[in-house]
Structure 1
Amino acid sequence: MHELAALLRRLPPSCGPVRLIGIDGHAGSGKSTFAGQLSRALDDAPVLHLDDISCHDELFDWTGRLRTQVIEPLSRGGTAQYTPYDWHARRFGPPLPLAPAPVVLVEGVGAGRRALRPRLAHLLWMELARDEAWARGRARDGEEQREFWDGWVRAEQQHFAEDPSRPLADLLVRQHERGYEAFPGPSSAHRAAGPDQIVTHGD
């Protein structure tokens, strides 16, 4: 994990002074867990969870909110203020600050969307087949979320059909029993592979 963290630190800033790193993948693919471990390897880099930006009525139509609350302030070197969504109360809460840092992680389905990619220093994709990821997510959330998941799957399929992320990923990340492996993504296919483009870590 520390090799990947070192690679990300060496990237040029992409959003004002910030190296914005997108972590995308199917729901249930392990993005949040991976982002938490990567954050620790980056000396507790801030993590923005896109579940806090989306809501029941706008599962994927949150680009404008992300832009005004997060991207624009960070691009000016200022502190972002975003209003996290409460999925139980079904309303947005009070603003939370997100200060500019050398690296900020943005994790969630759609983190590599077309509107955000120009601001990303790197895009990581969690390499897990969608059916396996969705099965993990359904098992995690339980039977009470079955109806929500049915609607989510349809929305996610439509989103990635219209705005795919994996073909533009810089790195693909696979989870193993112990640790993760990151290797060049589709967007690097036409670049010469260098020593920094393959990172394997077991910690």
Structure 2
Amino acid sequence: MSSAPSRSSSDPVATALEAAAATLAPAITAIAASNPVVLIDGRSGAGKTSLARALVARWPLSGRVQLVALDSLYPGWDGLAAGVELAREQVLVPHARGFVGVWQRWDWDAGEPAEAHAVDPSLPLIVEGSGLLNGVTAKLGDVRVWLESPALSRRQRALTRDGEAFRPHWDQWAKQEERHIASDRPAQHATHAFAIP
């Protein structure tokens, strides 16, 4: 057994995300359904993707869980609201009604839709992305998460992750997130809120 410290013990962000995942696991189990839906919202760089992956890794129910990231649906840098609507229409509503959902990945390089992906309504589902929680989508999620994180930390993480492709669009994207927060009040629709350093 190694005595070296774990990554999470030396990384406050990883520690906070692991703690969030540990909190969410029993909440998911408490839904008492075979196909619960988890929605994760937060501004860019808040840790949504990392939390979603941590949840997949420690999924508390038997069988597999599906993960859909809105980064794969947003139709370009002005597409926050449109991506959320695509997720609602093509993923969340069919899942809730027991139908197979089909969504198309957005090819950011080509600037057009690419291959299609199916979502099985019999399996649990995690959907994560900025703009996701609003008064309509909240009704389609069993566990709803809002992540809050300081702007400087978020920006550093997002630009480290996405590099120069994101840098010229940071302000453009942030304005869309601000509109979402002002009009949709996502934190009020969350069943769980977590502060990420």
The alignment's TM-score, normalised by the length of structure 2, stands at 0.77
Alignment check: 8 A CA contact 1:48 1:105 kept: yes
The alignment's TM-score, normalised by the length of structure 1, stands at 0.75
- In 2, Cα distance between equivalents of 1:169 and 1:161: 15
- In 2, Cα distance between equivalents of 1:68 and 1:10: 27
In the TM superposition, residue 98 of structure 1 has moved relative to its aligned partner by: 1.1
SS across alignment from 1:94: strand
The list of structure 1 runs, each at least 4 consecutive aligned residues, that deviate by more than 6 angstroms after superposition, is none
Q: By percentage of residues, which structure has more helix?
A: 2
Residue among 75, 93, 107 paired with 1:55: 75
In the TM superposition, residue 38 of structure 1 has moved relative to its aligned partner by: 0.2
Aligned residues: 173
In the TM superposition, residue 70 of structure 1 has moved relative to its aligned partner by: 1.3
Percent of residue pairs identical: 25
Aligned residue identity for 1:167: Q
Aligned to 1:5: 25
Aligned residue identity for 2:30: R
Q: Point out where structure 1 has 5 or more consecutive residues left out of the alignment.
A: 177-203
Aligned to 2:102: 81
- In 1, Cα distance between equivalents of 2:84 and 2:129: 13
Q: 1:47 to 1:162 in 2, by over 3 A?
A: same
- In 2, Cα distance between equivalents of 1:54 and 1:86: 10
Alignment check: 8 A CA contact 1:20 1:121 kept: yes
RMSD across aligned C-alpha pairs, in angstroms?
2.2
Residue among 26, 30, 39 paired with 1:22: 39
Q: Point out where structure 2 has 5 or more consecutive residues left out of the alignment.
A: 1-20
